[in-house]
Chains A and B, each alone.
Chain A
């Protein structure tokens, strides 16, 4: 074994060590939260922290949905729903609906830009892209005022319109990338064979674009799912999604971290599953479809 091989092998070992360390660093917090979510209240705060040597419990998960309130008179504790179920359901409704709408509109717009020669196409596309740079705080005040005027505060309609518009630039850019990859000859062939352009769009283009649409949908879902600021400021009760609720959980005795850990685990699980499902499209999704390998 000569020097260069030794150096190379050492370098490899170091590299693997670093990668392993990185994996630990980036995955530990997730593990820790899930771990904490199964700990009984007494063990949550113990130092030194317990990783595995505790008796797991589902108490925290129960407390996510239901808390015990003690009535001083009569001494009977009764369960009160925390409302988490309601907010969680809202998150699902808002995410699903706004994603479906954004996908439909975005795909249509992307198709028009992909197939037709539109005057000022580049400018319009850039305008759409620039929406991503927009700090939400710049628009949140007027939107708040506007919604107040239109009675859209704390409504499903209001939030769906908002979230759909959030996802539109993304959907347009992503789908344009996917649609550009479908040869124009597909519709041409269908149109020569007797179909109208609209028929060709639905029968030939959409089926081919389905994987791209699925990937776009997942990213849009995650974006809305994770959204916090507008959910916090434009809703109060009826249409409030889960993230603002997660943050506001406070009991008399301080923050019940076990409960928050459980709620967070529930909240984060769909995202992790979806991330694995679209792992081949992560680069595209995360750069708005601007970067493709």
Chain B
């Protein structure tokens, strides 16, 4: 498997700059997700790595060799397209055999054997004689995967392969894809706009916006240490609460439109002390705000605007002065619209952003014990959920039966 590196890739289409000095390294066997909204340049990035687009500037390195000017056929990468690009006039078997016929070095028998081998891995053997139009979306996706896998390419490039599947199938395929990737040890560059996919599948996530890298890091880093407002609000559902704040009289924070100032403490205070500007944004995720139905010490008052029950938890929409925040909390609180509710923002987990540039203000220095604990906690959570995923996978029923 190969290591892929992009250096300062710039690509324009007419007046539009699709990629702007994009650089990153995808390690061998790594699963890197490029995450961003539509128009961010994700597909262009993928196509540049594949050789389907040639950058205006910059280099594409595969295993250390400059491949920027090399045609796609020689790069030996595999591509899974969003719409699968299966040839309707060929059977599944012919579709999967097609890549192997390109160089005419494999015998017919070897090709058939390899196709069957890959079909076995993906459990699409019964479909081999069918035409793609006779298959369901999920089946077509597997065939597209299979076609990518037959060649034993050095890297896999996937363009939103799960987007066209219905929600249930998508959840199923996420874990299957991840399992496959681990199993084959495949260097994978995966593109999506779905942050859940990115978080659950990626070893690392690259957040892309308008052709510029916003942040590269592990899911944990992206989630808990976002470099700017864009990353912070793109990942996480419901979205992180962003409150415009400015310094108050007694060294505390005043939220615009809310009369009671917020006491500064923890990590936010460290960040505040390093802040040089005064137009700031306080970011707190819905799960990092504590609620109480009765007034407690250090809690501030808000008014209930709406509540969205999820079953195990509830999202509470609270009005703070002129601002509206969402809080995720256990479902047992009794709420009535218009009634007061008391909240406290966990200042060890909240962030401070510069409101002009959007950049996060680094608290720097020693991390508070609470922070270390919370990071470890999150990490353990993730490990647990990953183990859970594996268990679920073992217990998973066989893939959907082939329709007759």
Cβ-based interface call for B389 (8 A)? no
**Interface 1/0s, chain B 71-101, versus A by CB < 8 A?**
1110101110101010111000000001100
Interface size of B by CB at 8 A reads 23
Cβ-based interface call for B50 (8 A)? yes
* Residues in A176-220 with C-beta less than 8 Å from chain B: 183, 185-186, 188-196, 199, 204, 207-208
Give Cα A183 to B86, complex, Å.
10
Give Cα A173 to B310, complex, Å.
56
Query: CB-CB < 8 A to B71: which residues of A?
Result: 191, 196
Docked-complex contact B73 and A196, CB < 8 angstroms: yes
Docked-complex contact B85 and A194, CB < 8 angstroms: no
Give Cα A194 to B77, complex, Å.
9
Which residue of chain B has its CB nearest to the CB of A189? B85
User: Contact check: which of A188, A196, A208 meets B81 at CB < 8 Å?
Assistant: A188
Which residue of chain B has its CB nearest to the CB of A205? B87
Q: Which of A192, A193, A199 has the most C-beta atoms of chain B within 10 angstroms of its own C-beta?
A: A192
Query: CB-CB < 8 A to B81: which residues of A?
Result: 185, 188-189
Query: CB-CB < 8 A to A183: which residues of B?
Result: 83, 85
Query: CB-CB < 8 A to B77: which residues of A?
Result: 192
Query: CB-CB < 8 A to A188: which residues of B?
Result: 47, 50, 52, 72, 79, 81, 85
Give Cα A263 to B75, complex, Å.
62
Docked-complex contact B102 and A186, CB < 8 angstroms: no
Give Cα A189 to B87, complex, Å.
10
* Residues in B44-85 with C-beta less than 8 Å from chain A: 47, 50-52, 71-73, 75, 77-79, 81, 83, 85
Give Cα A191 to B51, complex, Å.
9
Query: CB-CB < 8 A to B103: which residues of A?
Result: 194
Docked-complex contact B73 and A194, CB < 8 angstroms: yes
Query: CB-CB < 8 A to A196: which residues of B?
Result: 71, 73
Give Cα A11 to B75, complex, Å.
69
Query: CB-CB < 8 A to B269: which residues of A?
Result: none
Query: CB-CB < 8 A to B78: which residues of A?
Result: 192-193
Q: How far is the CB of A101 from chain B (nearest CB, A)?
A: 25
Q: How far is the CB of A209 from chain B (nearest CB, A)?
A: 10
Q: How many A-B residue pairs have CB under 8 A?
A: 57
Q: Which of A185, A189, A191 has the most C-beta atoms of chain B within 10 angstroms of its own C-beta?
A: A189
Docked-complex contact A190 and B89, CB < 8 angstroms: no
* Residues in B76-135 with C-beta less than 8 Å from chain A: 77-79, 81, 83, 85, 87-89, 98-99, 102-103
Q: Which of B52, B78, B85, B99 has the most C-beta atoms of chain A within 10 angstroms of its own C-beta?
A: B85
Give Cα A168 to B43, complex, Å.
36
Give Cα A193 to B81, complex, Å.
13
Q: Which of B75, B99, B102 has the most C-beta atoms of chain A within 10 angstroms of its own C-beta?
A: B102
Query: CB-CB < 8 A to B98: which residues of A?
Result: 190, 193
Query: CB-CB < 8 A to A191: which residues of B?
Result: 51-52, 71-73
Query: CB-CB < 8 A to A194: which residues of B?
Result: 73, 99, 102-103, 151
Q: How far is the CB of B79 from chain A (nearest CB, A)?
A: 4
User: Contact check: which of B72, B79, B87 meets A186 at CB < 8 Å?
Assistant: B87
Q: How far is the CB of A120 from chain B (nearest CB, A)?
A: 15
Query: CB-CB < 8 A to B75: which residues of A?
Result: 192
Q: How far is the CB of A54 from chain B (nearest CB, A)?
A: 52
Docked-complex contact B87 and A204, CB < 8 angstroms: yes
Provided the pairs A192-B78, A193-B98, A193-B151 are in contact, do residues A186 and B73 lie with their beta carbons within 8 angstroms?
no
Which residue of chain B has its CB nearest to the CB of A186? B85
User: Contact check: which of B83, B89, B99 meets A193 at CB < 8 Å?
Assistant: B99
**Interface 1/0s, chain B 140-153, versus A by CB < 8 A?**
00000001000100
Which residue of chain B has its CB nearest to the CB of A207? B89
Q: How far is the CB of B60 from chain A (nearest CB, A)?
A: 14
* Residues in A139-172 with C-beta less than 8 Å from chain B: none
Give Cα A38 to B52, complex, Å.
64
Which residue of chain B has its CB nearest to the CB of A204? B87
Give Cα A185 to B102, complex, Å.
17
Docked-complex contact B79 and A195, CB < 8 angstroms: no
Give Cα A185 to B81, complex, Å.
7
Give Cα A204 to B99, complex, Å.
12
Query: CB-CB < 8 A to B85: which residues of A?
Result: 183, 185-186, 188-189
Given contacts A191-B52, A191-B71, 12 further A-B contacts (CB under 8 A): A183-B83, A185-B83, A188-B85, A190-B98, A193-B102, A194-B99, A194-B102, A194-B151, A195-B73, A199-B102, A207-B87, A208-B88
- B-contacting residues of A (Cβ < 8 Å)? 183, 185-186, 188-196, 199, 204, 207-208
- A-contacting residues of B (Cβ < 8 Å)? 47, 50-52, 71-73, 75, 77-79, 81, 83, 85, 87-89, 98-99, 102-103, 147, 151
The 5 closest A-B pairs by CB, nearest first: A194-B102, A193-B99, A185-B85, A189-B85, A192-B79
24 contacts between A and B (CB under 8 A): A183-B83, A183-B85, A185-B83, A188-B47, A189-B79, A191-B51, A191-B52, A191-B71, A191-B72, A191-B73, A192-B51, A192-B77, A192-B78, A193-B73, A193-B99, A193-B151, A194-B99, A194-B151, A195-B73, A195-B102, A204-B87, A207-B87, A208-B87, A208-B88
